[in-house]
């Protein structure tokens, strides 16, 4: 590797006191920077022939810049007390359909609901009957009733039972919705019944409620001319226990949620704002913020050329916005790592389809800013890991960031690209570009000597057709790695489904003039895409590919979901322990 100089610091005055050698490798280690979600630092580096560095501002297409929003921090507290004694804006009670059962006098049988109803003179049971509230999932009712310390009482349906993290995260989201509607600054959350919940389940459930509340309150209004700040400041979680263990779990929920919010905001940002260089800057800010455990290496096109990343550079060739290959490295405090992990995120900040341009109904070209959803997940996980600082595990976060555009310099159908492992690829569809960038990212990550790799990508429409908008498809030849990741999803509540790596389908990927083509037929499109990626993974490395094209985006909420971040963090922590 050619020699390179290190940027010593990026001062608050945005001046740089450093020079680079002739190499174009940028290594950011101890950068001081602004808050990540607002993208407030609009800087890039360019080089003169003398090798000195000068700082220049980005020209923003459309004059659009995100507003820096300082979201109020929500404080969480675990308490044990009678719910009728709690004082505040909203007392929210999660109820199952069984909890809503009433006797022959139309009175609640559940002890907590009976106690609340008695304090309210029977108005709670009366109102629930009139509104036909039965505790079904998705149902909620918030009533302003006199007689309690709380201004409002809310009943939130949990269905027949509630036991999974997803159930309790949904409870938290409903609490957030009620708090927004009532402009509440403090709320309490309790369950009508905690039967069937072990002490460990209570800890996990409290954490999920906290996570759901934070994510439910958050609204990405950075690109609106007027934005409303949420007023919720505190949440008391009642009846789930007290002490250091639950406090640790609540802090964990806040840390992971901050990563999910970063991931959402990265994916929500339009391509005229979040270009490859800006994505690289956001990665460098993570390294700056957590400089005790993180370092960042950013490779430009010249350095990628030295590393023979022809597959990645072929995709990037058409864009006026140059590619940036991002490598964040987390090293644990307090000793060497026992395991080395690689997390790779597809980083197409915009995908036009290239010469095979996306056209016609359903092509979703207007949403192709989310084609960097994999990188959003990886960088969101990096932020959370920087907060949590798990011991005993080294993690490499990799993004081959670029755009897939159209110009006279771009790759054409029929071109042959050579990846960094020497394998040749005949491009039979320029809109199958994500796998081309991931190919060189996989080779690079394997060369770091990692033990396990997970890559995440909005890779194929075929996976959305197969599994719908809420479930990601996963592919791996390793049963051991599959067990690890599925265990992580049990805690995160995110939905994945393992699909086969059917080797016989590779026949459709063979080329007459190169080692392979980049797409097979329409049938089994997500499987052949995964088989393509497998060609660039070392046999010594356990590897999983996650196709998250469906769950990356919510049409209902018109925004990014932050999918994958919670699972990645859980997986890293499981390897840490």
Which residue is catalytic, options 358, 389, 423, 534?
Answer: 358
Which residue is catalytic, options 340, 346, 435, 452?
Answer: 435
CB of 476 closer than 8 Å to CB of 544: yes
CA dihedral 243, 246, 250, 251 (to 10 degrees): 60
The pLDDT value recorded for residue 54 is 28
The pLDDT value recorded for residue 35 is 36
Dump the DSSP string for 7-39: E--B-TT--B--B--SS-EEEE-S-----TTTT
* Spatial distance between the Cα atoms of 60 and 310, rounded to a whole number of angstroms: 29
CB of 345 closer than 8 Å to CB of 399: yes
- Chain-centre distance for alpha carbon 305: 30
Is 98 a residue of the active site? no
CB of 498 closer than 8 Å to CB of 576: no
CB of 338 closer than 8 Å to CB of 392: yes
The pLDDT value recorded for residue 162 is 87
Residue 151: φ, ψ to 5° = -70, -35
**Number of helical H runs and strand E runs in the chain:** 14, 23
Q: How many CB atoms lie within 10 A of CB 67?
A: 14
Pick the closest to residue 36 from 370, 260, 321, 331 (CA basis): 260
* Residues 6 or more apart in contact with residue 408 via CB below 8 angstroms: none
The structure tokens listed for 79 are: 């308490």
* Spatial distance between the Cα atoms of 459 and 510, rounded to a whole number of angstroms: 20
Rg (CA), the chain: 25
Tens digit of pLDDT at every position of the chain (577 positions): 333 333 333 333 333 233 223 334 444 333 333 333 344 333 333 322 223 232 233 457 899 999 888 777 899 999 999 999 999 999 999 999 999 999 888 899 999 999 999 999 999 999 999 999 999 998 999 999 888 899 999 999 999 988 899 999 999 999 999 999 999 999 999 999 988 889 999 999 999 999 999 999 999 999 999 887 789 999 999 999 999 999 999 999 999 999 999 999 999 999 999 999 999 999 999 999 999 999 999 999 999 999 999 999 999 999 999 999 999 999 999 888 999 999 999 999 999 999 999 998 889 999 999 999 999 999 999 999 999 999 999 999 999 999 999 999 999 999 999 999 999 999 999 999 999 999 999 999 999 999 999 999 999 999 999 999 999 999 999 999 999 999 999 999 999 999 999 999 999 999 999 999 999 988 999 999 999 999 999 999 999 999 999 999 999 999 999 999 999 999 999 999 7
Task: Give the burial class of 146: count Cβ atoms within 10 A of its Cβ; 0-12 exposed, 13-18 middle, 19 or more buried.
Answer: exposed
* Spatial distance between the Cα atoms of 462 and 526, rounded to a whole number of angstroms: 6
Is 435 a residue of the active site? yes
The pLDDT value recorded for residue 41 is 34
The structure tokens listed for 14 are: 């945005």
CB of 536 closer than 8 Å to CB of 443: yes
Q: What is the largest CA-CA distance in the chain?
A: 89
Paired strand residues for 44: 56
pLDDT digits (tens, 9 = 90+) for 131-180: 999 999 989 999 998 888 999 999 999 999 888 999 999 999 999 999 99
CB of 176 closer than 8 Å to CB of 185: no
C-alpha distances in Å from residue 498, one per residue of 219, 467, 471, 514, 528: 32, 11, 10, 30, 14
* Spatial distance between the Cα atoms of 277 and 269, rounded to a whole number of angstroms: 14
CB of 344 closer than 8 Å to CB of 350: no
Q: What is residue 180's DSSP assignment? A: H
């Amino acid at each position: 590797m050619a020699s390179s100089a290190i940027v010593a610091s990026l001062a608050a005055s945005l001046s740089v006191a450093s020079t680079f050698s002739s190499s174009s490798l940028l290594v950011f280690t101890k950068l001081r920077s602004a808050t990540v979600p607002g993208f407030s630092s609009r800087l890039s580096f360019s080089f003169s022939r003398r090798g000195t560095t000068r700082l220049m501002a980005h020209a923003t297409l459309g004059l659009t810049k995100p507003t820096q929003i300082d979201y109020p921090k929500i404080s969480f507290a675990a308490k044990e007390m009678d719910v009728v004694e709690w004082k505040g804006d909203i007392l929210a009670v999660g109820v199952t359909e069984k909890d809503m059962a009433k006797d022959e006098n139309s009175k609640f049988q559940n002890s907590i609901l009976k106690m609340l109803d008695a304090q309210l003179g029977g108005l709670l049971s009366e109102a629930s009957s009139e509104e036909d509230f039965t505790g079904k999932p998705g149902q909620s009712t918030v009533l302003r009733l006199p007689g309690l310390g709380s201004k409002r009482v809310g009943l939130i349906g949990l269905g027949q039972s509630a036991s999974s993290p997803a159930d309790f995260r949904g409870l938290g989201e409903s609490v957030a919705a009620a708090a927004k509607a009532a402009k509440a600054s403090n709320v309490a959350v309790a369950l009508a019944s905690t039967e069937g919940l072990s002490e460990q389940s209570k800890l996990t459930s409290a954490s999920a409620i906290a996570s759901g509340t934070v994510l439910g309150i958050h609204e990405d209004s950075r690109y609106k001319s007027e934005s409303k700040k949420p007023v919720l400041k505190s949440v008391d979680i009642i009846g789930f226990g007290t002490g250091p263990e639950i406090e640790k779990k609540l802090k964990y929920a806040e840390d992971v949620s901050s990563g999910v919010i970063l991931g959402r905001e990265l994916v929500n940002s339009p391509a005229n704002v979040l270009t490859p260089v800006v994505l690289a800057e956001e990665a460098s800010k993570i390294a700056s913020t957590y400089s005790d455990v993180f370092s960042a290496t950013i490779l430009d096109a010249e350095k990628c050329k030295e590393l023979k990343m022809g597959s990645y550079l072929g995709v990037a060739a058409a864009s006026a916005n140059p590619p940036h290959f991002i490598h964040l490295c987390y090293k644990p405090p307090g000793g060497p790592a026992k395991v080395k992990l690689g997390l790779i995120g597809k980083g197409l900040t915009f995908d036009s389809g290239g010469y095979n341009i996306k056209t016609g109904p359903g092509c979703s070209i207007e949403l192709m800013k989310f084609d960097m959803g994999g990188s959003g997940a990886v960088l969101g996980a990096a932020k959370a890991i920087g907060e949590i600082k798990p011991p005993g595990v080294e993690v490499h976060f990799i993004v081959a960031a670029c755009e897939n555009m159209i110009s006279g310099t771009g790759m054409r159908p029929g071109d042959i690209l050579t990846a960094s492992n020497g394998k040749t690829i005949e491009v039979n569809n320029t809109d199958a570009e994500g796998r081309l960038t991931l190919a060189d990212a996989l080779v690079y990550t394997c060369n770091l000597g990692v033990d396990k790799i997970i890559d995440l990508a909005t890779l194929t429409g075929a996976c959305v057709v197969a599994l719908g908008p809420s479930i990601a498809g996963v592919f791996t030849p390793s049963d051991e790695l599959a067990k690890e990741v599925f265990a992580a999803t049990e805690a995160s509540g995110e939905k994945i489904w393992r699909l086969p790596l059917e080797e016989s389908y590779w026949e459709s990927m063979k080329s007459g003039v190169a080692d392979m083509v980049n797409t097979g037929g329409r049938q089994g499109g997500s499987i052949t895409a995964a088989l393509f990626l497998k060609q660039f993974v070392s046999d010594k490395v356990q590897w999983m590919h996650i196709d998250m094209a469906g769950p990356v985006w919510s049409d209902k909420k018109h925004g990014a979901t932050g999918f994958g971040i919670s699972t990645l963090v859980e997986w890293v922590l499981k390897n840490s322990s």
